[in-house]
Amino acid sequence: RLQRTIQSSVLLASGVLAIVVWFLAPTITGWLSLIDDVWVVRVAGIGLFAYTNLDPAQTLLRARDDRRTYLMASVSNVLLTVVLTVLLVLVFDQGVLGYLIGNYGASAVILLWLWFRELPVFLGRVERQPALVDPEKSLVVAQAESAVGEGDHPVAQAPDAASVLSEGIKVE
């Protein structure tokens, strides 16, 4: 339910902003002295929508500890961004517009893939829970314990950052 609320809220807010930017692009272009192409502003507005929605989608993957999907999405996004940007800017000489389409177009493709993959979760047909992490332990301690076994690793015996910071720095 929380996932649906977060994704719906971000989708609605960024969607409204993208529509506003789309229709106000001629005015916004007039305000910007360096840009005289309305499509640069429109693509930037759509790109803002794609990137803004991609971030919570990837955050939810990290919260669920879905490392494989997160890694595939991240690496695919980087590779697709590089390939599209090089093709559009260097090969097809599209300049700023090519850069924006390459950068945000890759994010949009990965976002669509994640939305398609997560649609059953979003519709409530499949339940995927966040990874269980003990709130009393730092992430490093929790990872060390799961890798080595509870209490066996020196990192697991070290105080976490919150307890160190709560005691403050003592000067003798």
pLDDT computed for residue 74 by the predictor = 96
pLDDT in tens, 17-62: 999 999 999 999 999 887 889 999 999 999 999 999 999 999 989 9
pLDDT computed for residue 165 by the predictor = 47
pLDDT computed for residue 129 by the predictor = 59
- Tokens 């803004």 found at: 52
| Angle ∠(35,41,47) on CA atoms, nearest 5 | 135
- Which long-range contacts link 102-107 to residues 24+ away (Cβ below 8 Å)? 103/47, 104/43, 104/44, 104/46, 104/47, 104/48, 104/50, 104/51, 105/47, 105/50, 105/80, 106/77, 106/80, 106/81, 107/47, 107/50, 107/51, 107/54, 107/77, 107/81
Is the separation of the CB atoms in 129 and 100 below 8 Å?
no
**How far is the C-alpha of 72 from the C-alpha of 114, rounded, in Å?**
10
pLDDT computed for residue 124 by the predictor = 76
pLDDT computed for residue 57 by the predictor = 93
Q: Pick out the chain residues at pLDDT < 50.
A: 138, 153, 155-156, 164-166, 169-172
pLDDT computed for residue 172 by the predictor = 46
